[in-house]
Structure 1
Amino acid sequence: MVKLHRVFLSRLASAIEGNETDRLALLALKQHLVGANSPGPLLSWNASLHFCYWYGIRCDRNRQRVIGLQLVRLKVAAAGTISPSIGNLSALRVVNLSDNSLQGTIPREFGYLKQLRLLDLSNNDLHGNIPIELNNCSSMQNINLILNSLTGKIPFGSGDYHMKNLTILTLAANCLSGGIPSSLANLSSLDFLGLSRNQLEGNIPNDLSRLSNLKVLVFSRNNLSGTIPSSIYNLSSLTYIDMGSNQLSGEIAPEIGFLFPKLGILYIGGNQFTGKIPRSLANISILDQLDINSNGFCGPVPENLGKLQNLTLLAIDYNHLGSGKDGDLDFVSSLTNCSGLKVLAIHNNRFGGVLPDSVTNLSTQIEIDLGGNLLTGKIPSSIGRLQNLVTFNLSMNHLSGPIPSSIGNLSQLSLLDLTILKEGFIFQEMNSMLITLNLSHNSFTGVFPSDIVNSKDIVELYVNNNNFIGGIPSQIGEISGLRFLHMQGNHFNGSIPLSFCLLRATESLDLSANNLSNTIPSELQKLPFLVSLNLSFNRLEGEVPQEGVFKNTSQFSIIGNQNLCGGIPEIHLPRCSENQEAKNKGSALSTQALLIMILSILIVSILVAIIVVFCWRKRSRRELINRPATPLLSVGCSRVSYQELLEATNCFSAPNLLGEGAFGTVYKGILYQHKNPIVVKVLNLQNVEAIKSFEVECEALRKIRHRNLVKVITSCSSVDFKGNHFKAIVLEFMANGSLDKWLKCDSPRHLNFGQMLDVAIDVGNALDHLHHHCESMIIHRDLKPANILLNNDMVAHVSDFGIAKILSDATGKLGFVQATSSFVKGTIGYVAPEYGMGGPTSREGDIYSYGILLLEMITGKTPTDDLFNNGSGLHNFCKMALMSLQQLKEIVDFRLLKQINDPNKSQNMKVDGDDIIWKCFVAFINVGVACSVEVPFERMKIEDAIKELHAIKRVYQYHRIVK
């Protein structure tokens, strides 16, 4: 008994000593973080709490030893260096200090941590060599050091300890040099090796073939040379290969398709490979992406690639493929079997012959790039069948004949490049989704049709080197987001449109080599982003401005205009004569007089408005309703009548009713001319404020277009058969309903994790567009599952970003109109906490709602669940669960658990703390938590969230391919 008592006391003393060592080590770690004493989570690291309850610390329950250190995305709060005292935390199993502002070197004391399993120091600013002592961490399973500034050679696999349990080694985006060491072959459990974006050189070692468990191999963007060793083809477990952007050469093994049966991704573009594309690739039935661009491949493209029914990307551009003769594109016919094909890039090869009609049978939502080949004949008129064609490049071929007018019907087309066609004529209209239009270096004649640019969102317009005549359409000046406008090398005449002074986003403007006359508008010098202006070889006259772009001779050119004067001294023009100066001054005075007159009229108008405002308030609702609404019309769709909506909805019958609320009623229907199902939102006209809001919303919706925002088709402002006024908005129908119906526990349908990722990315893209890419920033303010709609392909669309908001204002319950309203802006549970305290409307408010949305998706719990009646909230609920695998298992939606524990699935899918799918879950929850933190400026930016979700999706897809 005495002996047992002594053993107990000895162990107790050891535990107490270990606990104190851990506490002191953590305090030393805090001292090295310069932001640790600033307001933030590290303020909890003080004597008032046991260190096991400090932020980011996880302890063993029995011994109270630190086994987890996770300080993620603290940025300034975690700036500084990593203290060598971290080596005293001898029980540590997990160290995650990613996404911070750490500097200095990686302490070699990490080598003392024999129990360390995960080391994540990614996305910091660490430098110096990777310490060789890390090889001593015999329990290590995952090392992630990407996105730092580490130098020197790769040290892993050397020494007496080889980290036999290491499965993931990620060193990408550093400055590592030397060769890929053969010693990596000693890491026998490795299944993920990421070395991209470094300065590695030399050959790929033969010894890597010993890594029999390797699934992901990423060597891209280095300086590797030589051939792919034949032994590498023995790695039959590979699912992902990326060797792009190196200097590798030789031929690809003809039997590659039989050697890599599990391969899902093959990227070898940007090298010096030669020979033919192996026909055996068609045997890799699960191949998803094939990118062999920018090499020296030659010969025909195998016609059996159509067997790859899972193919989403085929990039074979910048090679020597084809013969320049008929039949080169026969393989395109087989690709019609690839129903998921999203990108077909075959430009800059030697493909000849006629563009086959089969190209119009490809996957509808696709990017097609056929530029830089030897194609002849006409563009098929059937091209209009590709209704969701996103980009279309036929530039630099030998095509002839007319450009089919059906191209104008491609409603989703964002890029059209028809540069250097042999001949042809231009059609009159183009869809309103275009971002880039390139019609340069053709023989187009006549007056430039102003209707060709219906899109107010166009960013790049190139019509240079044609034979257009007449004046430059002033409507171009209304394209507020236009960045590049090249119209040189035509026969345009007349003045430079004054509307060009509205091109506030334009960076490059080239009007050279035309017949333009009169003066240079002085307002061009006020364009804030204009850095390149070419007005050379015209017939311009008068004074050259001296401010803005005209201050730097390297940014503008005006040569070849004989009657210009003035300007900055460096251009050596004569001084303007008194007559010219008087003319310019007169012009300036006229402008000033015009401005004064406009200002006077404005002041008078305001006074008149003040006088009549009371009369305006007394107008009847009938007069207000009679005012026509702002048009919402899509291209080619006119305003619909009440009669048409009545027929479309079967007399607004109950079977067509989708829902109703305070703002009005929603019906499903089919318009005769539209042929696809639609949604009709009939406005409740009992509220005058709602009617006024309808007008405001129409104007907003008219300007917003994005693939992840619900598309507005048209509107109706009329009277019904009883003489009552009627207003409605017609939207595209979403076959799979709202997201909230998929998330409900009693729903027969539910999302798998892959769909969940897609929805999250879609919604993120919509928010990014609203926040950063619209003419004016738009804040949704009521993002929630009920406002996320899913189409037939499960693509998510954000809806009610204006209507629900404004109509809620009309009810008097929610105040969204004024940014400083004291009312809550949104739905309880999803609304940002600062709104509840009267805080201003901001992007960060939407991001908070987005974070809660992500957490609800993966947990299946709404933010108003009874579970959170104690005030904990969904954010804290998920944040705490991240500290423990067991807690994590308890919060993930049981329907997701059923999917990964399905006995019919591979054994690899079973729940395991080290399983890759659980890491995906953790990463997904981390994004949701980071987006929904309480302090607005600490929330993750939406663009960063999208990047994170894409990264999770890639890892998850590889995992699915492995199975």
Structure 2
Amino acid sequence: MGITLQNIKVFAVGANQFTGSIPISISNASNLDSLTLGQNKLFGKVPSLEKLNKMRILLLTYNYLGSGGANDLSFLCSLTNATNLIKLGINANSFEGKLPRCISNFSTNLINLYLDNNKIFGNIPIGIGNLISLESLTMWKNRLSGTVPFEIGKLQKLRELALNNNSFIGNIPSSLGNLTALLELYLLKNNLQGTIPLSLSQCQNVIFMSLANNNLSGTIFPQVLGLSFSLLSLDLSANQFNGALPMEVGNFINLGYLDISENMLFGKIPTSLGSCVKLESLNMRGNLFQGVIPSSLESLRGLQILDLSNNNLSGNIPRFLERFDILQLLNLSYNHFEGEVPTKGVYKNSSATLIMGNSKLCGGMPKMKLPATDAFSSTNLIGVGSFGSVYRGVLDQDRGTIAIKVLTACSGVDYQGHDFKALVYEFMSNGNLDEWLHPIARTNEALEEQKNLNLLQRLNIAIDVANALDYLHHQCHTPIVHCDLKPSNVLLDDDMIGHVGDFGLARFLREAPKDSSTNQSSSIGLRGTIGYAPPEYGMGNEVSTYGDIYSYGILLLEMFTGKRPTDNMFKDSLNFHEFAKANLPE
């Protein structure tokens, strides 16, 4: 390219299917202003780019670049001649090697530097403070170590700092308080220690902050929780914080996500939390909180997740939670609650309400007579999941076979006076689709007919699943997104009719405001199963019916190719879609 197109200024071929290595001749295109090669299948070593001194934008993101050698990143030093460079992205590749010190000599005009999702190791050079125009610095998910340099505090235009998923040690530098333009701070999943510096309270514009999964300790200072009215997400989970949660937490009136779980916080739940009326997820699990759930939390009507499990809370379970219409998970397990369990609203959903480990609770589900399961013998055990065990049973009325899911929660009693809670389902005699697509021979089934689906059966099951999705997405009063469509969640009855099951991750779709973007994001995390969940869920996007359609497409490919999307054969340049295209030609 550099030989025949020496005067080219912009070369943008991102989001295609180009393979091979970047040609050495590209360095001859000395007039290049912008080179965008992202989202292809390029691999190998990146050649020297020292002649491209007019370069402003270089994006090599989402490829397979890197040879695994110590000199993978040597080309970065050739970019120090590009004095007008404003955007550099090499993230989501296979670059290895030590982070070179020469990055400190990049153009002082550099605004965006994306190095994340590689295998880069070493320390961040202290000269990083020279890049005074930086607004985005992302180095997350590498193998970087050492301390977070104090000099980062010189980057006063920085809006995004993402150093998470590395091996940084030492304290959070107090100089981060100088980053008054900062919007996003991600330091989670490192080995940082010490306290949260008081200087962080100067970062009044932060909207996303995560310091989770470190070794941070001490109290959470009221000054830090005076951060900003604009904070949307705060994650301090899995550290060693102690002391009381300050009343100042109520200052976060725009907060949508708060996770302080797995610490050593104690005292009462602050009544001021009731001021955080935009909260969607509140996780205080695994601390030492005591006292009652404050009545002020009644104002948190937008909660979808409330986890107060594994604390020392007591008193009655509040009835106001019955009126939380969109609450999808209520976990009050392993506390000291007492009295009667409410029966309306979320409390009616046994898979959404967890209250085990509270020995003084009573009531809830009415008494019921157990169907015949041979006293829940292990011989009738069908399967075990996170919410309980499933047994085969027989109803007294018509001797029909059923499936009984015994939940590990306390809110009812059986005929012997024992705590008991269960759901009764139609028994699916032919198991799930995964067992038919990928049969495993068992010694006690040696004489049984080998499981095999013919083409017509596969087609009919695919139609059954499509009809189920149509019902969930278009026929329900409130559309429902399944969020975890995969073969093991497609159950087959006596007539080999497919039924979509397991709605543990399902979401109701509320009507979005007319002025909202269709590309909303969520900080709650990934939903679904790897291989079947759409890529945008992994980037924090809100669930949608399109996500189920993506999962359905993967399921179809698996049904008609016999391969799982996570099969070991799908690596390097071969993916599931290309395999299907080659084996199922039009």
TM-score range, shorter chain: 0.5 to 0.7
Hey, what does 1:459 align to over in structure 2?
A: 304
Match of 2:424 among 567, 574, 577: 567
Instruction: State the number of aligned residues.
Output: 397
CA distance in 2, matches of 1:313, 1:172: 24
Q: Which TM-score applies when normalising by structure 1?
A: 0.38
**Structure 1 residue aligned with 2:118:** 271
Which amino acid letter does the alignment assign opposite residue 467 of structure 1? N
Give the drift of 1:276: 1.3
Between the aligned partners of 1:565 and 1:257, the Cα distance in structure 2 is 62
Give the letter for the 1:442 counterpart: N
- In structure 1, give the amino acid aligned to 2:262: I
* Aligned with 1:245 (options 58, 80, 92): 92
Three-state SS of the structure 2 residue aligned to 1:423 is strand
Deviation at 1:370, TM superposition (A): 1.6
Q: Work out whether residues 509 and 533 of structure 1, in 8 Å CA contact, stay in contact via their aligned partners in 2.
A: no
Q: What is the deviation of 1:242?
A: 1.1
Q: Does 1:449 align with 2:294?
A: yes
Pairing of 1:33-182 with structure 2 (within 5 A): 157=1, 162-182=4-24
1:397 equivalenced with 2:239 (yes/no) = yes
Summarize deviations over 1:237-284 as a string: whole Å, max 9, x none: 321111112221222222322233221111101112111111111111
Q: Residue 519 and residue 168 in structure 1: after superposition, are their counterparts in 2 closer, same or farther (change >3 A)?
A: same
Residue matched to 1:468: 313
- The letter for the 2-side match of 1:303 is F
**Pairing 1:410–2:267 present:** no
- Measured in 2, the distance between the counterparts of 1:353 and 1:202 equals 41
In structure 2, relative to structure 1, the CA distance for the partners of 1:182 and 1:467 (3 Å cut) is same
CA RMSD of aligned residues (A): 3.8
1:475 corresponds to which letter in structure 2? F
Q: Determine helix, strand or coil for the equivalent of 2:185.
A: strand
Aligned pair in 2 of structure 1 residues 218, 383: CA closer, same or farther (>3 Å)? same
Structure 1 residues 570 and 201: CA distance shift in structure 2, 3 A: same
**Cα distance in 2 for residues equivalent to 1:470 and 1:464:** 14
Unpaired segments ≥5 residues, structure 2: 368-383, 396-401, 411-417, 430-507, 519-586
What is residue 549 of structure 2 aligned with on the other side? none
Q: Closer, same or farther in 2 for the Cα pair 1:777/1:305, shift >3 Å?
A: closer
Q: Distance in 1 between matches of 2:428 and 2:355?
A: 19
SS of match in other structure, 2:194: strand
Aligned to 1:342: 183
CA contact (8 A) 1:266 1:290 kept: yes
Say if 1:778 and 1:280 are closer, same or farther in 2 by CA, change over 3 A: closer
Q: 3-state DSSP class of the match of 1:358? A: helix
1:428 pairs with 2:271: yes
**Deviation, structure 1 residue 380:** 0.6
- Distance in 2, Cα, partners of 1:318 & 1:185: 34
Do the aligned partners of 1:510 and 1:533 also contact (CA within 8 Å) in 2?
A: no
- One-letter code aligned to 1:321: F
Which residue does 1:440 correspond to in 2? 285
Structure 2 Cα separation of the partners of residues 270 and 475 of structure 1: 44
Scaled by the length of structure 2, what TM-score is found? 0.60
- The amino acid that maps onto 2:222 is S
Partner SS, residue 185 of structure 1: helix
Q: Is residue 315 of structure 1 aligned with residue 162 of structure 2?
A: yes
Q: Structure 1 residue 188: deviation in Å?
A: 3.7
Q: Which is bigger in relative contact order (C-alpha 8 A, separation at least 6)?
A: 2
Deviations 1:34-62 (A, max 9, x none): xxxxxxxxxxxxxxxxxxxxxxxxxxxxx
Deviation at 1:286, TM superposition (A): 0.8
Query: Aligned in 2, Cα 1:411/1:175: closer, same or farther, shift over 3 Å?
Result: same
Matches within 5 A, 1:283-302: 283-302=130-149
Query: Residue 325 of structure 2 contacts residue 346 of structure 2 at CA under 8 Å; is this kept in 1?
Result: no
CA gap 1:571/1:557 in 2 versus in 1, 3 angstroms: farther
The answer (yes or no) to whether the contact 1:480–1:502 under 8 Å persists in 2 is: no
Alignment deviations for residues 801-855 of structure 1 (CA, whole Å, 9 cap, x no partner):
xxxxxxxxxxxxxxxxxxxxxxxxxxxxxxxxxxxxxxxxxx99xxxxxxxxxxx
Contiguous gaps of at least 5 residues in structure 1: 1-156, 523-531, 538-542, 545-550, 573-772, 781-797, 799-842, 845-963
Instruction: Report % sequence identity.
Output: 27
Q: Say whether the 8 Å CA contact 1:344–1:368 is kept in structure 2.
A: yes
* Paired residue type of 1:178: G
> Partners of 1:267 and 1:566 in 2: how far apart?
50
Seen in structure 2, the aligned counterparts of structure 1 residues 776 and 251 have a Cα distance that, compared at 3 Å, is closer
- 1:349 CA drift (Å): 1.6
* Contact 2:32/2:54, CA 8 A, preserved across alignment: yes
Over 3 Å counting, the alpha-carbon distance change for 1:276 and 1:778 in structure 2 is closer
The alignment partner of 2:113 has SS state of strand
Match in the other structure for 2:150: 303
TM-superposed deviation, 1:569: 6.2
Structure 1 residue 182 displacement after superposition: 2.8
Provide closer, same or farther for how the CA distance between residues 501 and 267 of structure 1 changes in structure 2, counting only shifts above 3 A. Answer: same
Q: Is the 8 A contact 1:511 1:536 kept in 2?
A: no
Structure with the largest fraction of strand:
2
1:136: which partner in 2?
A: none
CA shift for structure 1 position 218: 1.3
**Within 2, Cα distance between the matches of 1:287 and 1:568?**
57
Q: Determine the C-alpha separation between the residues in 1 that align with 2:386 and 2:224.
A: 36
Structure 1 or 2: more helix by fraction: 1
Q: Which structure's CA Rg is the greater one?
A: 1
Please state how far the C-alpha of 1:312 moved relative to its aligned partner. 0.9
